[in-house]
Amino acid sequence: DGYFYQIVSECLYSSKDLQGIEFIDSYVFNQAEYVRFNSTVGKFVGYTEHGVYNAEAWNKGPELAQELGELERFCKHNAANHYSA
């Protein structure tokens, strides 16, 4: 009954070097990931027909620039917290 939608944002820290940080945004609908942004790849990638359609549109629009900025704003900003834990 109903639908399940979520966005999972995560930072992967491979070393204390800030260049080794990876930002991933996963878009999930009904427990199936349909689009992912990966800062290492540098663009959105779709995994379903709807996801491919969204990824193509988002890679041409302002969504891509926003996601590229999340590595700095979200991951690098919080790196000291991650390493101190």
User: Which of 64 and 79 is assigned the larger pLDDT?
Assistant: 64
Q: Tell me the CATH number for domain 5-84.
A: 3.10.320.10
Q: Is 30 helix (H, G, I), strand (E, B) or coil?
A: coil
Dump pLDDT digits (tens) for 4-58. Answer: 999 999 988 876 666 778 999 999 999 999 999 999 999 999 999 999 999 999 9
> Looking at the whole model, is its pTM more than 0.85?
no
Give start and end residues of each alpha helix (H) in the chain.
49-60, 62-70, 79-84
Q: Is 29 helix (H, G, I), strand (E, B) or coil?
A: strand
- C-alpha 66/C-alpha 60 separation (Å) is 12
- C-alpha 58/C-alpha 51 separation (Å) is 10
